[in-house]
Structure 1
Amino acid sequence: MLKALFPRKKTSRPLKDYHSDWFKTLKNTLLPLLRSSISDSSPTLLSTHVEMLHHHIQSYYHALDLAASHDIAQLLFPDWRNSLEKPFLWLGDFHPYLFTNVLRSFLGDTDTDDKNNVFLKVGGKNCEFFDKPWEIAMAWKAPSKILMSRIDQIECGLRLMVPALVDRVRNAQGGFMKRVVEHWVWCEGKRDAARALIGDAVAAEMEEMVSVFLDANRLRRSVLAEIISATNVYQAALFLVGLAQFIVGLRDPDLLGEFERCNTPLNKPTRAGAL
Structure 2
Amino acid sequence: MIEIVDSSDTGRTGVHAIGGWGWVYYRERYDTGVWKERGYTLRLMEDGRQIAYTEALCKQNEWEESARRDLDGIEPWLRTLRVLRGGPRAAGVERLRDGIDTARRAGEELVDVDAWGTSLDTWLGEFADALRSSATSEEMSAATTRSGQLHYGTLARLVIERLESDIRRSQLVALAAAPDPATHPIPARWELPRPEFFSGHAEDAKWLAPYVMRHLLEGWRAAQEMKGHLLVAAQAAGVTKTEMHTTTGLARTTIDRLLTQS
- By the TM > 0.5 criterion, same fold? no
Higher RCO, Cα 8 Å, sep 6+: 1
Which structure's residues are more often helix, by fraction?
1
Relative to its length, the structure with more strand (as a share) is 2
Q: In terms of Rg, which structure is larger?
A: 2
